[in-house]
Chains A and B, each alone.
Chain A
Amino acid sequence: MNKIFEIPLYPYTHSPDQDASIPVRRKVVVIGAGPIGLGAAIDLAQQGVEVVILDDNDKVSFGSRAICFAKRPLEILDRLGCGQPMVDKGVEWDVGKVFFDNREVYSFNLQPETGHRRPAFINLQQYYFEEYLVDRVRELQAQGAPIEIRGRNKVEAIGTHDDHVTLEVETPEGAYTLEADWLIAADGANSPTRRMLGLDFVGRVFEDNFLIADVIMEANFPTERWFWFDPPFNRGQSALLHKQPDNVWRIDLQLGWDIDKEREKRPENVIPRLRDMLGDKVEFELEWVSIYTFQCRRMEKFRHGRVLFAGDAAHQVSPFGARGANSGLQDTDNLCWKLGMVMAGKAPETLLDSYDVERIHGADENIMNSTRSTDFITPKSETSRIFRDAVLDLSEQYDFARPLVNSGRLSVPCTYDGSPLNSADALDGPSRTRPGSPCPDAPLGDDFLLSRLGGRFTLLTIDADAPDSFEEDGVEVTRLALSVRDDPTLELKRRYLGDCDSAVYLIRPDQHVAARRPGFDETHFRTALRRALGKE
């Protein structure tokens, strides 16, 4: 067993808050030290906002769990100062193969678009992901940032008020009361916070079970994603093989609905299944086995007064498409700059309602995509199965059927079309950079565009004049002046200008486009800034 699971990463220590006769009021409390809670806390700490993370455990998550991290979350992690260790450790892959019955029907190469700092996605065990985030917390602490993780601090009760929340926290040394101006609940799909507040979580249950086995093997399988529909070793079901770092391989076997979970989890039952799949000659060792079922559902609203839900606590999807942790980080990316602005008195509290609008839009897109993948992998009627098998049969001979094969549509960030924070598009430019879009990266010589954006409002000018900065109600916008000549590959031009000769973009702290037009106009961009802060 990998020892990373056993060593406390943030062991319990006594906090002076536990001795206070009057409960101490903290600025922000985050419940849950998983990828989303840690991401939120780092984002806030980088803004100088005091944040305390409470977790009922003191270790990384058990087992590899989330393993596929997409480009957008890696870009967010770059902004949070911890993208590089993830990419250094992670496994990159481009080739996927699709098998049906006993034959390979086709393979594909994702051939990711060039001119981005980060790959389309990496495979990395969740425990490494969490470990590197905790490393970043420690680094921030060493720099004096107001961030703290309290292990074995379990929240047992929550009281909500107009301007704060109260928390009853259980520790190995007894209970204490803590108050917070704001609470971020990132406590997972079974969110105790959601339950304590009596909030609903409605959606669709999928009647299926999947066995995940992470095995360690020195195998000759290439670094590719292999997906089987109805293979001989798992008849009528699906299977997935995917590589992680350290010679760990993720194997995912669909088991169907009517099974005995405890029995199927036992090594004496798991190992023969894996033998059938991998062949007799492969030596392997089981690292982690789990059986999961899943649901696609979300909360009706993610903001409940001073309590903000993020990640799986707010929305749950099927694992196909890697949309869980990936979308959760986009939640905190969206939320934390808004919360920072509201707490600093630079934006009205109603700005936080746009978190609901934008991330519910994202959650619905993710739920739709992951539901479709699930319906393809597990057809719910005889006719659905006939269509599915017809697509697979045709895909072996004809290109046209391949886009219809759906074993998971990998997570891509959503564009916040229709968001109240967007200003009307005033540039006849590329669709992918319209207001609401996440800024696509572009090369700038030895550097990349995204490393110069984010964490503040930026006025990106490309071959256009503008003041170096301007201020509106205490919020400063700084200019990033570029020219198409800064990128000889012309990706900057293709992604931001299209056929236009110049452009000015107002970019939000989360690297989404708020407004754009061909040239600078003071009134236009002041209004756009006010709108992006929820003041229009």
Chain B
Amino acid sequence: MSDQLILTPNIDTPDDFYADLLAAHEGLDKAQSDALNARLVLVLANHIGDRAVLSQALRAAALKEQQS
């Protein structure tokens, strides 16, 4: 497994994924959606595991340029 965060397109059929993501929030109020998102971040972070990659992801999400 690479220790480099992937920032190029990496999801098969991205429209299907995005539709699934919105569907997961269907019918939830804002607080419930926020909680779902928090759980989702933690689940995905655990799947990634690699601390170096997670650190890069935190910086990327903050919209700070990646150090290469």
Q: Which residues of A contact B (CB under 8 A)?
A: 369, 372, 375-376, 381-384, 387, 391, 393-394, 397-400, 402-404, 406, 409
Contacts and interface: CB of A to CB of B under 8 A. Distances in A.
A375 B23 CA distance: 11
Nearest to B19: A372
User: In the complex, which range does the number of interface residues on chain B fall in?
Assistant: 20 to 34
B11 interface: yes
Contacts of A381: 25, 33
Nearest to A406: B15
B22 A384 contact: yes
A400 B15 contact: no
A393 B63 contact: yes
Contacts of A372: 15, 18-19
B38 interface: no
Contact of B28 (A376, A383, A391, A403): A383
A398 B60 contact: yes
Given A383-B33, A400-B11, 5 more contacts: A376-B18, A382-B30, A383-B25, A384-B22, A404-B18
B6 A400 contact: yes
16 contacts: A369-B15, A372-B18, A381-B25, A383-B25, A383-B30, A383-B34, A384-B25, A391-B18, A393-B63, A400-B7, A400-B10, A400-B11, A404-B15, A404-B18, A406-B15, A406-B18
Contacts of A398: 7, 60
A372 B9 CA distance: 19
A17 to B, nearest CB: 50
B5 to A, nearest CB: 10
Contacts of A391: 18
A383 B22 CA distance: 8
A521 B67 CA distance: 61
A189 B38 CA distance: 43
B9 A399 contact: yes
Contact of A402 (B9, B10, B33): B9
B45 to A, nearest CB: 17
Contact of A387 (B11, B22, B34): B22
Nearest to A373: B15
Contact of B9 (A375, A383, A400, A406): A400
B55 interface: no
Interface in B11-48: 11, 14-15, 18-19, 21-22, 25, 28, 30, 33-34, 37
Given A375-B22, A383-B28, A387-B22, A403 B9 contact: yes
Question: Top 3 closest A-B pairs, CB basis?
Answer: A383-B33, A403-B14, A398-B7
B68 interface: no
B2 interface: no
Nearest to B14: A403
Contact of B8 (A399, A404, A409): A399
